[in-house]
Amino acid sequence: MAHYCVNCGSELVHREIEGRSLEACPNDDFVLWRDPKVATAVVVESDGGIVLGRRAIEPAYGMWCLPGGFVNDDESPVEAAVRECLEEICAPVVVTGLIGVFHISKQDAASLIGLGYHAHLVDGHSPAPGSEMLEVAVFQLDALPPLAFSSHRQIVGEFIQSRVPPGAEEPLRAAAGAPRALPPSPARGRSPRPHRR
Ligand SMILES: [Zn+2]
């Protein structure tokens, strides 16, 4: 598909720039750089677990994911993370730290730079589904549903690892030691409860 210069409207032509073949204007210095988009995903802690939403939109309709989304040009990534939580899980959050920065490579669209944050709900607030979610729920870390996106799986994985105290061997046991007791869990192959000492 042809692309056109945002300055003068000329049809772009392929040009070798910094070792890459890019579309550029033959008349001025406009280059259609293939830049990544910036998105956030937020691990919101609540009741010893994390808040997930089940998607009411494509892609991955019906699957669970972290709240998050694209960063707008006029907001910081943390502001974007807080806004997306308000929109998707209808609850104010306090962002408490960065889990990591991830590159999500895409062939059919701009690749993403994903910023994984951890946060907690503002006291007295509970999550509720926004318009892009069918439902929201709090899941314990050892009973998470399949997540829609590999980047979200990676962010949650690193979040769980980051919670392991030095010397501890089993991250999920550490997670189960969160302040509140686990709710009754459905029967599973392994007990999620901490071992008795
Ligand atoms: Zn031009």
Could you state, in chain order, the average pLDDT of each consecutive group of 10 residues for the chain (197 residues)? 96 94 96 95 96 96 98 98 98 97 91 97 96 97 96 96 69 46 45 45
59 burial (CB, 10 Å; 0-12 / 13-18 / 19+) is: exposed
Residue 133, number of CB atoms within 10 A of its CB:
22
Domain residue limits at 24: 1-34
Looking at residue 167, its pLDDT comes to 62
Looking at residue 105, its pLDDT comes to 92
Residue 27, number of CB atoms within 10 A of its CB:
12
Looking at residue 188, its pLDDT comes to 43
Residue 195 domain flag: no
- 67 alpha carbon – ligand 1 mean position (Å): 39
Residue 88 domain flag: yes
Q: Are residues 14 and 52 located together in one domain of the fold?
A: no
Q: For residue 42, what is the domain's CATH number? A: 3.90.79.10
State the total domains in the chain: 2
- 107 alpha carbon – ligand 1 mean position (Å): 26
- 102 alpha carbon – ligand 1 mean position (Å): 33
Q: Are residues 29 and 121 located together in one domain of the fold?
A: no
Collapsing DSSP states into helix, strand and coil, what is residue 28? coil
Residue 147 domain flag: yes
Neighbours of ion ligand 1 (CB under 5 A): 5, 7-8, 10, 25, 27-28, 30
- 9 alpha carbon – ligand 1 mean position (Å): 6
Q: Are residues 69 and 117 located together in one domain of the fold?
A: yes
Q: Are residues 74 and 131 located together in one domain of the fold?
A: yes
- 27 alpha carbon – ligand 1 mean position (Å): 5
Q: Are residues 48 and 24 located together in one domain of the fold?
A: no
Does residue 43 contact residue 139 with C-beta atoms inside 8 Å? no
- 25 alpha carbon – ligand 1 mean position (Å): 5
Strand 31-32 and strand 20-24: pairing? Answer: antiparallel
What's the predicted TM-score (pTM) here?
A: 0.77
Q: Are residues 95 and 8 located together in one domain of the fold?
A: no
Residue 190 domain flag: no
Q: Are residues 43 and 130 located together in one domain of the fold?
A: yes
